[in-house]
Chains A and B, each alone.
Chain A
């Protein structure tokens, strides 16, 4: 309570300050940016998200005329970085953060310090990952339909490996299972390396993961049954999408960037324009393609709407698989 009062108090002070210094803010917004910008990437350095965000930030900084420094603040499944920003950073446009889907999902599962609807100024939606379902090349499952048929005859017998409980892969698989009217058994591993080993060694029947399986699919050791992207992936033209398989959805754990709440719309617009140009840059598109990521642009308004939609659909699934907040 005390904390909330203090925040309310400082907010009212801030509001008063903005009111009196209104003219000064406008001047500042026009000059923005006059110093380097910090972009929080809530994942360890060197991972696929980090590398792709660095490429995007590098291109965006050219349009902004100021360098963008990456601050890797991992933890909490990618929520510690954005949460710290929401609690501590000034909404001056010099601290922004990558927003992974866990920022919307975790509040549905437990008490957290942030409110995804209110605590962020969403700027732009950038891209998402390519997820897919694979099975061992020697498996009896040749298509996704084989899996559904087998699962209908043997409820709960089909096991699938995910990179962790509560990840997009887990939530997505359960959503598919619910639509198909089948029951699958999740076996949560830690990360893509372990799920590859699990399905290769026939420990689980299926694997649901991002494209860490690519070399094994290329080598013919794993069979790709389905991808979860909007359109077929150019790297795997034979694998049908979710939509083609009869599930009207796209599941790609999308992400964008946001700042703390209360950012000047003019600054938001400047950042939006710079990052939009960045994801149109062929060099950036090429870097993203290495991780099977495709730009998925949404402007500030659409991104805000998307946050509401995603929260609603996630809530349903999270509750149906028993992960909802008690």
Chain B
């Protein structure tokens, strides 16, 4: 019952009026930056980091954490409404979320993503309280070989993302991988495909690519269509998910939560893989996979639950080992350090009030987010009724500001515009951007970990099968690739048999 006393202690800290206030400010700002495309949690947190210096460490870190998970909530809003993912983890939400919005079901889509996120976030926090110290070892059990196999598994997911031609999807994935190669080679530090441009040394930014391919391309393709409002024409029937929506979403939320939590613990790409993998899993399990990509609510519920659970899981390596699994967590680590604290194995024992206070505040913050977000849904849906000649310039304006803010670099704005034009033509000719983005994110990780594992194993490829976690990932990937072929083979055989019979 040690945990219970600690939890009570934590709530004691989190419920202090000043901490409640900071928590609210944090989730409020988080929701705002999540909703504004491009202005992600990273820019918001780095700008506000100095502000937290005046208060106690607890309140400062509670606010920073609030911005982080608040933005996870808000991020899905733009994906659903205007097809602009704020970050890689919400790319997959665009696929079905925006389709739902086009069918006049933006309300249920936003509702399920808020409620799914709440459920996943709550579960992740309870798990964080109960098993955090034990799971710390998971994060370090993953070496380069394990990551390589995990990335292979992640890329297999590509086969589930495609709605149209598989050949086109693979072509997009190849382009994504090549784009990911740009910049300094991560092993030898030689510049690759930079064409002598210093701006390309660090590679092409993810934010401009994603904003261009999704947001700007969406605007471009819409301007060419005759101004007919498909959104307004479709009657907005309801604001919240109905019974049928819930029945469809319960399973995806549960599975997404578990997957997100465990993948979120892993440093690097965990949340992205989790959201894509959840989508793939739901499509695979669904009796009606053809609905995916055309507004299936399962395709929103699962990935949204996964990326929020991943946000909770990500705290484990930070709090227990001092290892931040992503950039946002690294910023949070910075917040700890300027308050004179070092997250690490000693943090929980030396500073229990801080650790449990933060965890408890996240629980309170999650509840605040739900209260904050549900009433907003009605407002967001109304936003879609804005005339296109107002809405589109606004979207373009926000994407440009967002891209510029994320790097303070005009070059990135050009990159975004270029990808907007590329995305426009891709859409015209039926190429999908999601495989490109997935490959762009995972490709460099795959290459880097492959080469690192081979350095460590001195060129022995057996390392991938000898290590159990790695082998398990590879087997799972193989199963995922082979199994879908079996029923179709069978069906084909049956068809042939029928033909012969007739």
Contacts and interface: CB of A to CB of B under 8 A. Distances in A.
B46 A76 contact: no
B70 to A, nearest CB: 17
B435 interface: no
A46 B49 contact: yes
Nearest to B202: A75
B49 A187 contact: no
A74 B140 contact: no
A80 B409 CA distance: 10
Interface in B432-452: 448, 452
A161 to B, nearest CB: 9
A144 interface: no
A198 B453 CA distance: 12
B352 interface: no
Contact of A73 (B322, B325, B344, B408): B408
Contacts of A159: 455-456
B407 A75 contact: yes
Interface stretch (B31-39, B88-96, B109-117, B335-343): B335-343
Interface stretch (B182-190, B211-219, B227-235): B182-190
Nearest to A191: B330
A311 interface: no
A166 interface: yes
A290 B201 contact: no
A214 B346 CA distance: 11
Contacts, number: 143
A173 interface: no
B139 A291 contact: no
A111 interface: yes
A74 B139 CA distance: 29
B455 to A, nearest CB: 5
A291 B337 contact: yes
Given A51-B338, A196-B321, A79 B189 contact: no
A236 B424 CA distance: 57
B198 A193 contact: no
B267 A194 contact: yes
Nearest to A185: B455
Contact of A197 (B139, B198, B452): B139
Contact of A45 (B49, B325, B456): B49
A51 B335 CA distance: 10
Nearest to A157: B458
Interface string B39-61: 00011011101100000000000
A212 B322 contact: yes
Contact of A113 (B191, B198, B452): B198
Given A76-B198, A219-B345, A165 B185 contact: yes
B281 interface: no
Nearest to A198: B143
Contact of B186 (A71, A164, A290): A164
Contacts of A185: 455
Contact of A219 (B49, B323, B346): B346
A203 B449 CA distance: 12
A231 interface: no
A202 to B, nearest CB: 8
Given A111-B196, A197-B267, A44 B455 contact: no
Interface in A35-79: 44-48, 50-51, 54, 71-77, 79
Given A113-B198, A187-B452, A214-B342, A165 B189 contact: yes
B187 A74 contact: no
Contacts of A198: 143
B402 interface: no
B340 A193 contact: no
Contacts of B185: 165
Given A51-B334, A196-B321, A214-B342, A204 B139 contact: no
B176 interface: no
A40 to B, nearest CB: 10
The winner among A46, A51, A185, A197 for most chain B CB atoms within 10 A is A46
Interface string B290-331: 000000000000000000000000000100011111000111
B89 to A, nearest CB: 18
A166 B452 CA distance: 15
Contact of A215 (B46, B335, B343): B343
Contacts of B144: 187, 203
A197 B347 contact: no
The winner among A54, A79, A221 for most chain B CB atoms within 10 A is A221
A45 B424 CA distance: 33
B494 interface: no
Contacts of B334: 46-48, 51
Nearest to A212: B322
A46 B344 CA distance: 19
A72 B406 CA distance: 11
The winner among A45, A193, A197, A219 for most chain B CB atoms within 10 A is A193
23 contacts: A44-B46, A51-B49, A71-B408, A72-B408, A73-B409, A74-B407, A74-B408, A75-B198, A75-B201, A75-B409, A111-B196, A164-B186, A165-B189, A166-B189, A186-B455, A188-B186, A188-B189, A188-B452, A194-B267, A201-B142, A203-B143, A215-B342, A216-B321
Given A76-B201, A194-B323, A196-B322, 16 more contacts: A45-B43, A47-B330, A77-B202, A80-B409, A83-B198, A109-B189, A164-B189, A165-B188, A193-B325, A197-B139, A197-B140, A197-B142, A198-B143, A204-B456, A214-B342, A216-B344
Interface of B: 42-43, 45-47, 49-50, 139-144, 184-191, 196, 198-199, 201-202, 267-268, 317, 321-325, 329-331, 334-335, 337-338, 340, 342-347, 407-409, 448, 452, 455-456
